[in-house]
Amino acid sequence: MIDGLIGGKLYGTAEERTGKSGKAFVTAKVRAAGGDGETLFVNVITFSRTVGDALLALEDGDSVALSGVLTPKVWTDKNGETRPALDMVAHAVLTAYHVKRKRQAVQHQAPPAGGDGFEDEAF
């Protein structure tokens, strides 16, 4: 098992599905930049409602970062060349929306009474 963090852009839109057992899950594809300048596709599945809702709210091309269990794979393109890919079971997600919301929360916090807790001394 490999725990990993990937960042990239959503390829297409995420889809919600239901398994044979009746349990809901979400699938998505993420395009990530490979070290050699090529695109690496990451096939994502999540059983987490929080992660699934975040993926479903995104549109094609939106930036996303995901954390989870990675499995390396290989696929063959239409020219017969083998290409690397990854399968991920995602447990956590971070999107531009999450960053914006956290920044707004920090900006709206009032400084503690009596100042910021630091003495203003000249250097």
Tell me the domain boundaries of the chain: 2-107
26 pLDDT exceeds 90? Answer: yes
Give the mean pLDDT of the chain: 86
Residue bearing tokens 């409602």: 49
Q: What is the pTM of this model?
A: 0.76
**What's the pLDDT tens digit per position in 68-96?**
999 999 989 899 999 888 999 999 999 87
DSSP 8-state assignment for residue 37: S
**What's the pLDDT tens digit per position in 93-123?**
998 776 666 666 666 665 555 555 555 555 4
* Distance from the Cα of residue 26 to its chain's centroid: 13
Asked if the 2-107 domain carries CATH number 2.40.50.140, the reply is yes
Supply 16's token pair.
């919600």
Task: Give the model's pLDDT for residue 37.
Answer: 81
